A and B are shown apart, each in its own frame.
Chain A
Amino acid sequence: MSEALLRLDKVTMQFGGLKAVCDLDLEIPAGSLYGLIGPNGAGKTTVFNLITGVYTPTAGSIHFEQRSIHGLRPSAIARRGITRTFQNIRLFGSRCCRDNVCIAQHQHTTAGILDAVLRTKRFADDERAMQQRAQELLEVMGLGEWGDTLAAELPYGQQRRLEIARALAGKPRLLLLDEPAAGLNPQESEELMHLIEGLRKRFGIAILLIEHDMRVVMGICERIAVLDYGVKIAEGNPLEIRNDPKVVEAYLGEDVHAADATT
């Protein structure tokens, strides 16, 4: 059995008296498409924040590629190979789209500041490669002609795609997508679904997805974990999750379940 790409062992996140995440065990295999679902406030984004180093777990450990990433700052974790998008879009609004994607390649730059200031050949080559790759990524995400547009001027759907392009630029082995389909109409969601699946194949990366749109989750995820009040209440493939009574209860409440039982 191959070792998991990302492993969370009994991870707990406590804010004062509130346990946002409680004793979470999670294993994400390399190259898989994994979904994380649960009602609002279940702690899903907190899990993302824990994995990316925004929070440090109060208990438990997190291992990426068999190395502990506990206590590392977010930029260090990004350099290890985990990048993310955000629930509320966080683009660099004053920069053009291509620059947004270039910034994410910063960690791979070989040209130092002196190179930049003196405009050495190393800088010129580095810069050209970055711009080229940025354009390629934009095209993969369907944003090819928007390279010079300011990120703040993009329509909402394109902004979400730009965030994904940006996260890809960091050459991650694990990509965390926080509600990528939020605010998209059904057709856009459908397109996004295929896009994400294509990304996995094209770049050979693992993707961990938080989503509320069940069509997207059930459509592309191989495995799904369900969180409720910070606790994992179910885990399995989409069919198992769909039929799991605990999951139904978490989303729809106990009364419905009881009503089902009496009829």
Chain B
Amino acid sequence: MAATDAGGAKRDRKSRAAGVAERLPLARAVLLPDRAPRMSEFLQQLINGVTQGSVYALIALGYTMVYGILRLINFAHGDVYMLGAFFAYYSARWYGAAQDPNPMKALLVLVTAMVGCGIAGWIIERAAYRPVRKSSRLAALITAIGVSLLLENGGQILFGADPKFFPQIIPLKNIPLGGGVTISNQQLIILAVSLGLMGLLRFIVLNTRTGKAMRAVSYSHTAASLMGISVDRIVSFTFVLGSMLAAAGGVLVALKDPKIEPYMGVLPGIKAFVAAVLGGIGNIPGAVLGGFVMGIAEVLVVGYVSPTLRDAIAFVLLIVILLVKPAGLLGKNVAEKV
């Protein structure tokens, strides 16, 4: 019986493989190459991923800079991103930026949000983090968790728990790039603004005295202060910078996904943090790299594997990088001197 049915068994195996391949696009590309998804679809996903990644990079930069100078994981950073979106929301309504949309008003909204969050970051650092700088690392971690809870729940009381809808201060326009791939003007703006801000940050860190001071403080507080650097001022400056970048991220995302609510910073905060760890926490180019990797990975996983895994991919990446190379892609392992 088995001998005569050999041909049928082979046929069964093939059709089973085809069935599996139907359900998983990635498998489809491997097992049934003639029905692989088109290149244009992949490019589109790539564009989406890079756009998403640039926002993650903006937020990740804040995490990495604060960790670099304070060895503190600023749990509240994701909530500053949320504040940015809300500051932008209220200022957009104040300036009437949605009534007659124009780029100047949109820019004003962005700047207002960034300045507002810069101030917020400054306050948080002075009031909550500076007093515990001398205490243990765990104390600082718990303070950060407390600030995060405060911002989320305080935001819920202040803004109300129901989501608000960010006004269209830049009306959507899709720009075809040929071959079925399009990019929206919003995505272009997101990319332009984030890359611009990242470039500005790079300039500050590498080409200004303050930037040099920041790098010095990240190596050693004591040595830096012995060189005449006011560690307190540099720490404040770093917090302000990081918060402004996060605010920009919040505004840019609100352009694309207008629904904003007090807990919107939780998931992006975690993902951006993972991105920072991925690139090497404390390492600025690493944060940018990590952000883009995170964004692209997320979009590709959602598009080609399964949409329900979108939030899980961050944790998977986290576990993998911590087990394989804890110092991160661009990080260096600094061993303790015995």
Contacts and interface: CB of A to CB of B under 8 A. Distances in A.
Nearest to A178: B338
Contacts of A49: 338
A86 interface: yes
Contacts, number: 4
A86 B338 CA distance: 8
Contacts of A45: 338
Contacts of B338: 45, 49, 54, 86
Interface in B303-338: 338
Nearest to A49: B338
A45 B337 CA distance: 11
A95 B241 CA distance: 43
Interface string A76-115: 0000000000100000000000000000000000000000
Contacts of A86: 338
Interface in A29-46: 45
Q: How large is the interface on A (under 10, 10 to 19, 20 to 34, 35 or more residues)?
A: under 10
Chain B interface, DSSP helix/strand/loop, else mixed: loop
B177 to A, nearest CB: 46
Interface in B213-233: none
Contacts of A54: 338
Nearest to B336: A54
A45 B338 CA distance: 9
A239 B338 CA distance: 32
A248 B87 CA distance: 71
Nearest to A54: B338
A49 B338 CA distance: 8
A88 to B, nearest CB: 9
Nearest to A45: B338
Interface string A42-70: 00010001000010000000000000000
A54 B338 CA distance: 8
A247 B338 CA distance: 27
A188 B338 CA distance: 25
Interface in B126-175: none
B170 to A, nearest CB: 51
Nearest to A55: B338
Nearest to A48: B338
A220 to B, nearest CB: 25
A102 to B, nearest CB: 23
B191 to A, nearest CB: 39
Interface string B89-133: 000000000000000000000000000000000000000000000
B188 to A, nearest CB: 44
B327 to A, nearest CB: 15
B208 to A, nearest CB: 31
A83 to B, nearest CB: 14
A35 to B, nearest CB: 21
A49 B337 CA distance: 10
A86 B337 CA distance: 11
Nearest to A46: B338
A84 to B, nearest CB: 10
A180 B127 CA distance: 44
B333 to A, nearest CB: 12
A54 B337 CA distance: 10
B150 to A, nearest CB: 31
A202 to B, nearest CB: 29
A47 to B, nearest CB: 12
B281 to A, nearest CB: 22
A86 B336 CA distance: 14
A104 B240 CA distance: 48
B139 to A, nearest CB: 16
Interface of B: 338
4 contacts: A45-B338, A49-B338, A54-B338, A86-B338
Closest 4 CB pairs of A and B: A54-B338, A49-B338, A86-B338, A45-B338
